Amino acid sequence: DQQVKQNSPSLSVQEGRISILNCDYTNSMFDYFLWYKKYPAEGPTFLISISSIKDKNEDGRFTVFLNKSAKHLSLHIVPSQPGDSAVYFCAASMMNYGGSQGNLIFGKGTKLSVKP
């Protein structure tokens, strides 16, 4: 039973356009969400996070939106660059229920390809 779902295994976007990566979750106790990026032969790298008390968090070209009623979050990358090509993982935690960032539930990832 997958608690964090990334239903699109892959996404292809033209350089300069917006990339939108989606993530759905089922557990309403999740209260902290993160996005990680992973290049081949490397470990995941933290990108951006959002607490459930917010609905938007922005960091440079990356913005994460959280819709708690829909149990949905999305990562927007604007503008997309070829170096953004990687696998993106959505992750969730129950920080207020004994969880921590050391105990994350991950989605299966979306492979983003940004074409020059």
Residues near other proteins (CB under 8 A): 36, 41-46, 49, 89, 91, 95, 98-109
C-beta of 60: minimal distance to other proteins in Å?
16
Distance CA 90, CA 106 (A): 6
Dmax (CA) of the chain: 44
For other proteins, the closer of residues 2 and 12 by Cβ is 2
Q: Which of 107, 105, 109 is nearest to 29 (CA)?
A: 105
Cβ 56 to other proteins shortest distance, Å = 19
* Rounded Cα distance, 88 and 104, in Å: 15
User: Rounded to the nearest whole angstrom, what is the least distance from the CB of residue 76 to other proteins in the complex?
Assistant: 21
Q: How far is the CB of 26 from other proteins (least distance, A)?
A: 15
Which residue lies nearer to other proteins by CB, 102 or 116? 102
Chain CA centroid to CA 22, Å: 7
Closest to 36 in 3D by CA, of 48, 18, 50: 48
Closer of 98 and 116 to other proteins (Cβ): 98
Nearer to other proteins, 20 or 105 (CB): 105
